[in-house]
Amino acid sequence: MLILILAVGLGLLTIRFQRIFMEYAVNVCEDSAIKEINTLMEDEVFSHPDEFADLVVLERDSDNRITALRTDIIAVGKVKARIVNGLFERLDYLEETQTEVPLGTVFAPNLFTGMGPRVKVGLAGLAQMEARFVSAFTSAGINQTRHRILIEVHAGFRILTPFGGEDREIVSTYPVTDTVIVGTVPERYTYIGGSGSDLLGEIRDYEENSDISHEIGK
């Protein structure tokens, strides 16, 4: 009976140990992945603002009313390809490195940070790498509408520990363009690109504060 109690107690302790350690490992690996994604966006997007100056073009009629908002689908596709390729490269780099987690840091950080046996944690990239372009419209004041194009970066990876693995996905959003439209704006917005635009990148368009947008357009 005593042996059974000890076995059950040891099993419960092991399960708790694995859960706590996995939670810590997830946080460590997600932090590393986010840092790499931020560095990638800095290198590929924010360091080249001139490349995105003509990403959005407003077309007006003879009365200076906006008739269309065009997004350069080809440019969007190029940016998407660069980002996705960069994601694979960055996570490949993380795959070559391992993080050692001191057990004291996991279970008693206030007392034993950096102490105790060290357990290696690895990271493996998955195929779920994607860059989505989102078009957002919000009110920017009286008779003004703010249009932004955002990049949603989706990065999937698997965390590897001696106690098992866990699949995770990070979704981060970064602004690419920010345009304030003054005056009458159309009630609907369309994106006009060349043939095969669905192969170059998905653009999802939606309106935020739609009631305000309709009032501005009156």
**Rounded to a whole number, what is the largest CA-CA distance in the chain?**
91
pLDDT value at position 125?
A: 62
The CA–CA distances, whole Å, from 19 to 15, 92, 100, 124, 163 equal 6, 26, 17, 20, 9
* Tokens read off for 113: 């940070």
pLDDT value, residue 27: 79
Provide the 8-state DSSP code for 43.
I
How many CA atoms lie within 13 Å of 34's alpha carbon, on the beta-carbon side? 12
**pLDDT, position 215:** 23
How far is Cα 66 from Cα 60, in angstroms, rounded to an integer? 4
Q: How many CB atoms lie within 10 A of CB 213?
A: 19
Look at residue 208 in the predicted model and tell me its pLDDT. Answer: 42
Cα 64 to Cα 16: distance, rounded to the nearest angstrom: 66
**pTM listed for this prediction:** 0.61
How distant, in Å, are the alpha carbons of 48, 55, 191, 194, 201 from that of 70?
21, 8, 5, 11, 15
Could you give the 3-state DSSP secondary structure of residue 30?
helix
Contacts of 14 (CB under 8 A, 6+ apart): none
Residues 209 and 139: beta-carbon distance below 8 Å:
yes
CA 188 to chain centre: 27
Distance CA 178, CA 173 (A): 14
The pLDDT score that the predictor gives to residue 59 is 75
pLDDT of amino acid 203: 41
* Cα 75 to the center of its chain, rounded Å: 20
State the CB neighbour count (10 A cutoff) for residue 16: 11
User: Domain coordinates of the chain in residue numbers?
Assistant: 2-216
Tens-binned pLDDT, residue by residue, of the chain (218 aa): 667 777 766 666 666 667 777 777 777 777 878 888 888 888 877 887 777 767 777 777 777 777 777 777 777 788 888 888 888 887 777 666 666 777 776 666 666 677 777 777 766 666 577 888 777 777 767 777 777 788 888 887 777 777 777 788 888 888 887 777 776 655 444 443 433 333 233 444 443 443 333 222 23
Q: What is the pLDDT of residue 14?
A: 66
Whether 168 and 159 have beta carbons less than 8 Å apart is answered as: yes
Q: What pLDDT shows up at residue 109?
A: 64
